Amino acid sequence: MGSHDPKWWLGEPIWETVVNNGLKASTYFWPGAEVKKGSWTCPKGLCMFYNSSLPFQERVDSVLNYFDLPSDEIPSFMTLYFEDPDHQGHKVGPDDPRITEAVARIDTMIGRLISGLEKRGVFEDVNIIFVGDHGMVGTCDKKLIFLDDLAKWVEISKEWVQSYSPLLAIYPPPGVSPKDVVGKMNEGLKSGNVDNGEYLRVYLKEDLPARLHYSESDRIPPIIGLIKEGFKVEQKRSKRQECGGSHGYDNAVFSMRSVFIAHGPRFGRGRKVPSFENVEIYNLVTNILNIQGAPNNGTSSFPESILLPSH
């Protein structure tokens, strides 16, 4: 529940940037939008507090209603969020027929959005960016690594563990050397005497591959374990057998990738673009809106590689 405290949010979100540039923004369940931060006050009627039980069609219709406002009141930037098919993916994994059904439902909602915009005569004037935040991979309980199996080398108390899967994060107590713990854990994992030990590698956070950008923040625990795709870490053995889905593995893994589809006056028809990192989308939006963005991790040249020149 502490997620609404602005202290956790260090960057400037796109809706705050939009407002800083004197334009109107609306957000529908976009993560972080409920946080009052900087010039963003989560304005009534333009900022919806997350409620997963609100039907998807109601969300779409609310956004379409913005286009019925007087033209100077229509937000320049709008977000819309659906928690499917992520919701089903966690329960049943990515290859279950229920995922196909969930995708079809979202497809119907996008259709509802498009026909609503067409009915209002604005579909060709609106730039729509359709993105997901991550992929999904199946996890099953035969793919497990147990921390208790390392007891011969080092005892990892459950109180030390901040998260088990898909990223192992360990905070040893004061007086216990993280370097020592990492050394002993890897010795055990490489010994051949720990089930699935070869599918986990443990690092001091400063030794993680630089491409992960996962060492600078003091919020990141000192010990991080990278788990191979589809495997899970647990504390101790149990008889539980379940299959589901997860994300948050190394972002170089293909199954962690997501989707990017865009349409509108600034996007060329039928064009395919090479894969890119989601941090690029911020500069894409500021370029379309022709506004000044905050410093960010995207590249300034990226929008030109994707967008048509503005008229």
Q: Quick check: is 311 in a domain?
A: no
Considering the domain architecture, whether residues 223 and 276 belong to the same structural domain is answered as no
Q: Which of 197, 224, 246 is the last residue of a domain?
A: 246
Query: CB-based contacts of 12: which residues, under 8 Å, 6+ apart?
Result: 20, 38, 294, 296
Query: What pLDDT is recorded for position 124?
Result: 96
Query: What pLDDT is recorded for position 310?
Result: 83
Considering the domain architecture, whether residues 113 and 7 belong to the same structural domain is answered as yes
The count of domains in the chain is 2
CATH of the domain at 122: 3.40.720.10
Q: Where are the alpha helices (DSSP H) in 8-96?
A: 14-20, 56-66, 86-92
pLDDT band of 248, cuts 50, 70, 90: confident
Query: CB-based contacts of 82: which residues, under 8 Å, 6+ apart?
Result: 56, 59, 106, 109
**Using an 8 Å Cβ cutoff, are 125 and 266 in contact?**
no
Q: What percent of the chain has pLDDT over 90?
A: 76
Which range is least confidently modeled, 255-259, 268-272, 287-291? Answer: 255-259
25-28 and 47-48 strand pairing: parallel
DSSP 8-class letter at 177: -
Question: Considering the chain, what is the average pLDDT of its residues?
Answer: 93
Q: Quick check: is 25 in a domain?
A: yes
CATH of the domain at 207: 3.30.1360.180
Considering the domain architecture, whether residues 146 and 169 belong to the same structural domain is answered as yes
Q: How far apart are CA 138 and CA 243, in angstroms?
A: 7
Considering the domain architecture, whether residues 6 and 99 belong to the same structural domain is answered as yes
pLDDT digits (tens, 9 = 90+) for 19-36: 999 999 999 998 899 999
**Using an 8 Å Cβ cutoff, are 208 and 217 in contact?**
no
**What angle separates helix 97-119 from helix 56-66, to the nearest 10 degrees?**
20
Classify residue 136 by burial, with Cβ atoms within 10 Å: 0-12, 13-18, 19+. Answer: buried
Q: What is the pTM of this model?
A: 0.87
Domain that holds residue 162: 139-246
Spatial CA neighbour of 286 closest among 131, 34, 77: 77
Query: What pLDDT is recorded for position 85?
Result: 75
Query: What pLDDT is recorded for position 244?
Result: 87
Over range 76-84, report the average pLDDT: 92
Considering the domain architecture, whether residues 6 and 120 belong to the same structural domain is answered as yes
Which carries the bigger pLDDT value, residue 241 or residue 302?
Answer: 302
Query: CB-based contacts of 72: which residues, under 8 Å, 6+ apart?
Result: none
Distances (CA, A) of 276 to 272, 289, 302: 12, 21, 9
